[in-house]
Structure 1
Amino acid sequence: MRYLAIVVWAVLISFVVSYVLSSMGNTEFSLPGTFALAAIFSIAAILLGDVILKEEKSE
């Protein structure tokens, strides 16, 4: 469930970022580029949460 939330938020954030950047650059909105950015955001968030910021369990 945690990964599903990460993917949903990554898609929403990438849509906003792509829309704003395409509007500022006066270019066409690219849906495949948006999903590629969402994949990058998802992978980065999962790696950050599970690998880099992993807490050590105390006994």
Structure 2
Amino acid sequence: MRYFWTFFWTFLLMQMMAYVVASMTGVAYNFVTASILAVAVTVVILILGEIVPDKSAEGHH
């Protein structure tokens, strides 16, 4: 379920970011490009979540 929610929020935020950046630069908004970027960012976030150690779990006995 965490994969779904990670993708869901990343997808929404990347679409919003792409729309705002396109508006600010004066180019056309492209849904497909923003969607591909959202998938790539989701994969990076999930990989970083597995690589980075959980410091709070190490201190508890």
Q: TM-score range by the shorter chain?
A: 0.7 to 0.9
Corresponding residue for residue 15 of structure 2:
15
TM-score by length of 2: 0.81
Structure 1 stretches lacking a partner, 5+ long: none
Shift of 1:54: 3.4
Supply the distance in 2 between the matched residues of 1:48 and 1:6 (Cα, whole angstroms): 12
Supply the distance in 2 between the matched residues of 1:55 and 1:21 (Cα, whole angstroms): 34
Shift of 1:35: 0.5
Supply the distance in 2 between the matched residues of 1:7 and 1:46 (Cα, whole angstroms): 9
Structure 2 stretches lacking a partner, 5+ long: none
Corresponding residue for residue 54 of structure 1:
53
Matched, 1:37 2:37: yes
RMSD: 1.7
User: Rg bigger for which structure?
Assistant: 2
Count residues in correspondence.
58
Supply the distance in 1 between the matched residues of 2:36 and 2:8 (Cα, whole angstroms): 14
